[in-house]
Structure 1
């Protein structure tokens, strides 16, 4: 399909170049055609010569080109011999250099004028073929979205995320039976925004939704809309929605939405920001503009929902916002069961016990853990010289030990505090700590969220307290981790500024 598109683009480019070159060639050729001077008799020439009405005479091949005192030119048959030369000199007529047949020099003149242009066109074509052909220019406006007519993934392939699947099940039913919902006065949401940390299964959930509904699935990354040339991203966005409209009902999945959906503001200066903002404006119009879409739903994923433009998040555009919470123990057991399907697993492997040991793991991390355990089983079987393969519990323990060794001294609390220095962050798992304040008081609870200035804790009785980071003297994780000083994790130099040090 891609080869056919490139071939078609190259043919179009070649046709247009040929037509443009032919136009300029004929224009130049006919413009430079020599002027045909009228012929007169020798007697008329002698009469003008006797009346001193001749300005100059230019000899040619068997003819004379005569210019009279009014600037008019004509030709007479004859040659410039000695007697005629004397007559011309006696009347003060200027004799020019011998004239040549201009028609014979038209083509050399044309080639001399157009050879540099033809050379430039040849160099341009050569460079374009090196860059991937003319298709790379004509296809700039084409969307780069990948189309899966019917994804094979369903909700059965998604572990955990029970609340998200339940909410998306209504949208799936709408795509399957739109008339039943329209009879009740309901309408299909324009967009669904999936929020969560990396590896929590946002892309998988979007694919499963399209697979459950058995509709075409367009997958694209938001960064693919941002190009060097201003306007390309907006054109690609329009083309994406036009392609999806031809295959309704359809699902469009935009990954990493924050690449084009960042908050607009006065700080956005430069061509790059103009391109991103034009793309965002086009997305806003496509989601909810003058032309209403039917049967196309947009699913977007991001882990930076705090920086998205407010116009994106209003009802009518992304009507449904689903936050992907950390996996519970039951959710981790479901994910492990899914990834262990069709694998030789020993009966001693307990999914529930393994799920308890992997607290804080995301779906992607659990998949990597299962794969590492399978690799460990192959190595163990090879060392033992046994042809029978089975993933044992010891393989999972070896994989967990290897992962913990790579993790080093940092844990979930470290990652949370470091990440919160630039954005609003939530722990990827349960994090319980004791915060010792500057006045000596203590706060103990589970971390709800943290940002650049505050830390929110939820106590065991359910009450929540937000405490300023600058008022914390020390943080002590409640668990097996060693105590962590805040000054080694989060260096807030502005919080430590005093009027004397500014």
Structure 2
């Protein structure tokens, strides 16, 4: 008993590599070859020629000769002649002459010529040698020649069928398993499983999903009240927000089997394969019920039916969707099978797929807010070696609009930057550089630029910063740089103090002015217009069109929105008339002209300060909020906050405090 405990409780030996038996085969083959050459008595005749045999005939040592198939002569020697030739040192090949049977064999060119040569040799020896002629058929060779093609065909077919029948279980890797679902089954006892502790933020989504998990754990609590388990839940949100990670957490938390498959796994070039895989998937789920089935990127098969039917003659995708609809809620109910799905294209899904009874819940997994971003930073910083002064809340405020995947990328980029500079730990400046790298692109300090081009870039960025600093509804400017990144020659970074939920028309109009500030600053100082404002004009034009056509912020157009959230509108026709289109264009032009006039007025009033800021930019390349405040004074945003709080601008939590935070980095 003690020995058994010691065996079970002790540390197991590591798994040894599987021994190779190839050397055994090599030894056996060498033994067979050696035995055939040297070990056994040789019974094979010795190859010879007519000149040698002619001498034997003249010596009277040949007992008889048999001619086989008119081309091979087999020579039988007398017994005393065999011993004589074995001891002949001049012919070493005769040492292995057989005792019985055919001793020598040689090829003859012509039977008639062979007869004449043999007759001449017999006359010289005075003895006659009997000659027999035989025709022998090689039965094995003929049989092999006749049946070899069939053997090859059967062998190739056997190996093909054997390879098709393989497929690694449920993975369906062979042709015979092409209709099998390639679902991966996750075990609750897996060592590296993801739990809800690994999912930061998404509190509302986790509550919805955890209720499904809790139902599977404690079904009696819900059944006593007459509640039924939801048949399906659809995770909806932008890319990188954690939909698949949330599903992995469900797989780690649930005490039931979890089958995961991608929507693209149902799409094949063979007709009927998609529907067959859907049937097989739910067949597996029924056998493991209660269980959870997760379909990632369900829009690959759940796209709305009947769209653009004239451009595609293949309805295989629709057949797959029809089978999925039937399996989820058809004539036969799937009790105990819960379907989770994820997509970022919910607007194109079929309405029949979205109805209650199939996907009872639609869980919105949106972009994280500032508090959730701090939690996500905490999750991804677990395995990083950080400086002590790292503030997750500060980093969360610097990354508005970042998804969970973006934050993970920021943490990894910060670690790479710190390693590139041979640091022992990751500092806040590494994180700021990583954010700049992800948002702006790769830094290009060696880009060839003339002094006038660098000056124009500095004026452009200073114009943006001045207009945005002077307007209360614009986001606070935190830093301005003329270091080229990606396709931009410079950048003005602004981060909102509080993430806005409700945006007014005044805020959008002032944002338009801030976008046009760089172009106007170049025009005021140089009298020319540069092409570097392309992205600014593009963003300003899109914002203005959205204000007029989507948000109903134009008095002339009125409270009308032409936005189609369902995606069902025909893209070849406009939802408004040509006259309305002209009115929309006129309103967009008016809004941009008003923003242009507002920004130009500010720049003309503060042009000397803009040039001072440009000089500082050329000197430092990057300036922060405190540098801008020394040139322009307190920002309009800090004045607005101070007025709301009843304090002076310098006493409020204005741009200087935020700039100090960045300057320390």
Tell me the TM-score range normalised by the shorter chain.
Answer: 0.5 to 0.7
Structure 1 residue aligned with 2:301: 260
Structure 1 residue aligned with 2:429: 394
Q: Give the distance between the partners of 1:228 and 1:456, measured in 2 at CA.
A: 44
Q: Give the distance between the partners of 1:270 and 1:117, measured in 2 at CA.
A: 48
Give 1:136 shift. Answer: 1.4
Contact 2:186/2:251 (<8 A) preserved? no
Q: 2:508 aligns with which of 428, 433, 446?
A: 433
Q: Give the distance between the partners of 2:373 and 2:433, measured in 1 at CA.
A: 19
Structure 2 residue aligned with 1:466: 561
Quickly say closer, same or farther: Cα 1:223–1:400, change in 2 above 3 A. same
| Number of residue pairs aligned between Structure 1 and Structure 2 | 336
Give 1:341 shift. Answer: 1.2
Q: Give the distance between the partners of 2:390 and 2:207, measured in 1 at CA.
A: 30
- CA displacement 1:163-205 (0-9 Å, x = unmatched): 1111222212111111211111111111111111111100011
After TM superposition, the structure 1 = structure 2 runs for residues 401-440 of structure 1, keeping only pairs within 5 Å, are 401-406=436-441, 408=486, 433-434=508-509
Contact 2:165/2:174 (<8 A) preserved? yes
Indicate the structure whose relative CO is greater, using CA pairs within 8 Å and at least 6 residues apart: 1
Contact 1:197/1:428 (<8 A) preserved? no
Query: As a proportion of its length, which structure holds more helix?
Result: 2
Query: As a proportion of its length, which structure holds more strand?
Result: 1
Q: 2:234 aligns with which of 193, 202, 205?
A: 193
Is 2:218 the partner of 1:177?
yes
Q: Give the distance between the partners of 1:284 and 1:354, measured in 2 at CA.
A: 45
CA RMSD, 1 decimal: 4.1
After TM superposition, the structure 1 = structure 2 runs for residues 321-332 of structure 1, keeping only pairs within 5 Å, are 321-332=362-373
Q: 1:333 aligns with which of 374, 399, 411?
A: 374
Q: Give the distance between the partners of 2:383 and 2:425, measured in 1 at CA.
A: 12
Q: Give the distance between the partners of 1:430 and 1:400, measured in 2 at CA.
A: 26
Q: Give the distance between the partners of 1:370 and 1:457, measured in 2 at CA.
A: 40
Q: Give the TM-score taking structure 1 as reference length.
A: 0.58
Q: Give the distance between the partners of 2:324 and 2:310, measured in 1 at CA.
A: 20
Contact 2:164/2:177 (<8 A) preserved? no
Structure 2 residue aligned with 1:148: 186
Q: Which runs of 5+ in 1 are unaligned?
A: 1-107, 383-388, 411-426, 437-443, 484-502
Is 2:253 the partner of 1:251?
no
Q: Give the distance between the partners of 1:128 and 1:269, measured in 2 at CA.
A: 39
Give 1:392 shift. Answer: 0.9
After TM superposition, the structure 1 = structure 2 runs for residues 355-370 of structure 1, keeping only pairs within 5 Å, are 355-370=396-411
DSSP-derived class of the 1:336 partner = helix
Q: Give the distance between the partners of 2:381 and 2:282, measured in 1 at CA.
A: 38
Quickly say closer, same or farther: Cα 1:223–1:454, change in 2 above 3 A. farther
Give 1:325 shift. Answer: 1.9
Q: Give the TM-score taking structure 2 as reference length.
A: 0.45
Quickly say closer, same or farther: Cα 1:122–1:455, change in 2 above 3 A. farther
Structure 1 residue aligned with 2:338: 297
Contact 1:225/1:237 (<8 A) preserved? yes
Contact 2:244/2:296 (<8 A) preserved? yes
Q: Give the distance between the partners of 1:428 and 1:311, measured in 2 at CA.
A: 35
Where does structure 1 differ by over 3 angstroms across 4 or more consecutive aligned residues? 114-135, 266-273, 407-410, 427-436, 456-459, 464-470
Structure 2 residue aligned with 1:138: 176
Contact 1:327/1:429 (<8 A) preserved? no
Q: 2:270 aligns with which of 203, 206, 229?
A: 229
